[in-house]
């Protein structure tokens, strides 16, 4: 069984690195997809840096703030067939 953790973000540069590191330690077998809603504060840069060292971390960039619900819906719809 594959596990997916979806992390919606918007201007989270101060906290996303620590959160990802904790998730990787707590659930090392899980895939983590960060869905960013157009942050311009460096959030995506931090996620990309973590993903470079941890292939289970991926980034989905959205060009606008679509909100929490749509971040989950869009990601689950796009990945549903890959996870249990």
Specify the pLDDT at position 82. Answer: 85
For range 37-66, the mean pLDDT: 97
Least confident of 4-8, 23-27, 33-37, 79-83: 79-83
User: What pTM was estimated for this model as a whole?
Assistant: 0.92
Task: Return the structure tokens found at 39.
Answer: 């942050």
pLDDT in tens, 8-24: 999 999 999 999 999 99
Whether the CA torsion 55, 51, 61, 28 is positive or negative: it is positive
Between CA 48 and CA 24 the distance in angstroms is 15
Percent of the chain with pLDDT over 70: 99
Q: What is the pLDDT confidence band of residue 1, given thresholds at 50, 70 and 90?
A: confident
Query: Which of 54-58, 61-65, 79-83 is the most confident on average?
Result: 54-58
């Amino acid at each position: 069984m594959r596990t997916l953790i979806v992390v919606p973000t918007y201007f989270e540069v101060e906290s996303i690195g620590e959160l990802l590191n904790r998730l990787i330690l707590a659930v090392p077998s899980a895939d983590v997809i960060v869905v960013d809603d157009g942050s311009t504060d460096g959030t995506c840069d931090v996620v990309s840096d973590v993903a470079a060292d941890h292939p289970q971390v991926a980034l989905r960039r959205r060009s606008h703030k679509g909100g929490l619900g749509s971040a989950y819906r869009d990601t689950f719809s796009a990945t549903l067939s890959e996870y249990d």
